[in-house]
Amino acid sequence: MYVLTYSQREVLQALVTLYEKKKSLIKSKDIAIFINKNEGTIRNIIASLKALGLVDSKTGPAGGYRPTLKAYEFLRSPTIPLISGVKIVKNNVKLDLEVTNIEFMDITNRLGNKAVLRVIGDISQIREGDVLKVGPIPYSRLVIEGKVLCIDRYRREVVIDVSRVVSIPKEIIKNLISRDLIYVPPNITVKEAAKVLSDKGIRGVPVIDEEGNVLGLITSADILKAIVNNDTDAPITKYMRKEVIKINYKDDILSAIKLMLEKNIGRLLVINDEGKPVGLITRTDILRKISSLELLS
């Protein structure tokens, strides 16, 4: 299947919309007004669409344009237009490129799914065979991953073989945390903290004093260090992490994902509007909320 430019698809979609509404031939002037573009530009684009067999025309005063059956079949292929560019990641590094449009192809092909990325920026950063990640995409909140099959540098389009598509649900953090905050006081030993983690089946807890102040965070990794040092009778304040990254319980889980990636951590302390701790959110909590868990593991 061939790939249309953004302008070609925009004009073709406008023609279909107007034709379905009026049930009669459409003038180039009508399309120009509908999408707010120059009529001469519309005629040039329609000429290219006619060459592809997507548009029929009739000359004369009563003439105009209409979409072909092939046009309807073509437009069934889903496209995600992006209002603002989305970054591309290759080998866990953000490229100086942005995706402005994503078009999915071959959605009924059992052998795989293709997507066409329209990009702006230095396209020479991408090579065939590279594995790219795109997203999260605004509004749809999709994250797409795939291997580059080919690159059209003239059209600035990259075709990828999609291997993973993950949808990040719209959910506030408050709905993902447990009601009871599990924490430990600062005056216990590493061994006692280890028992709390073991009994509760968790990997980390905040350290909070009697006044409700958050002093740090003790995790199973910190306890392991104490075990290696044969120092489990030491106070947890010796091994706890004093920097605790916090997030408001009204924030979206997408914000939590971004913060975890930015700080390279697996859990965040959740606070309320008064700044008081109300729970923890972990990568596991988020993965449980996302249906395709294996895609982000």
Determine how many CB atoms are found less than 10 A away from the CB of residue 201.
6
pLDDT per position as a tens digit, 213-240:
899 999 999 999 999 999 999 999 999 9
pLDDT per position as a tens digit, 69-99:
888 877 766 665 554 568 888 987 888 888 8
Determine how many CB atoms are found less than 10 A away from the CB of residue 47.
11
Which pLDDT score is estimated for 297?
37
- C-beta contacts of 242-248 below 8 A and 24+ residues apart: 242/215, 242/216, 244/206, 244/214, 244/216, 244/217, 244/269, 245/269, 246/214, 246/270, 246/271, 246/277, 247/173, 247/271, 247/281, 248/173, 248/272, 248/273
Do 173 and 247 contact (CB within 8 A), yes or no?
yes
Of 120, 40, 125, nearest to 89 by C-alpha is 125
**Domains detected in the chain:** 6-75 (1.10.10.10), 79-167 (2.40.10), 173-296 (3.10.580.10)
By DSSP bridging, strand 246-248 and strand 267-271 are: parallel
By DSSP bridging, strand 277-282 and strand 79-90 are: unpaired
Percentage of the chain with pLDDT > 70? 90
Percentage of the chain with pLDDT > 90? 31
pLDDT top residue among 77 and 170: 170
Token output for 198: 């073991």
Mean pLDDT of 136-153: 84
Mean pLDDT of 276-287: 85
- Residue 262, beta-bridge partner list: none
Q: What are phi and psi of 239, to 5 degrees?
A: -115, -10
Q: What are phi and psi of 233, to 5 degrees?
A: -90, 0
Q: How confident is the model at residue 293 (pLDDT cuts 50, 70, 90)?
A: very low
Of 75-84, 156-165, 238-247, give the lowest mean pLDDT range: 75-84
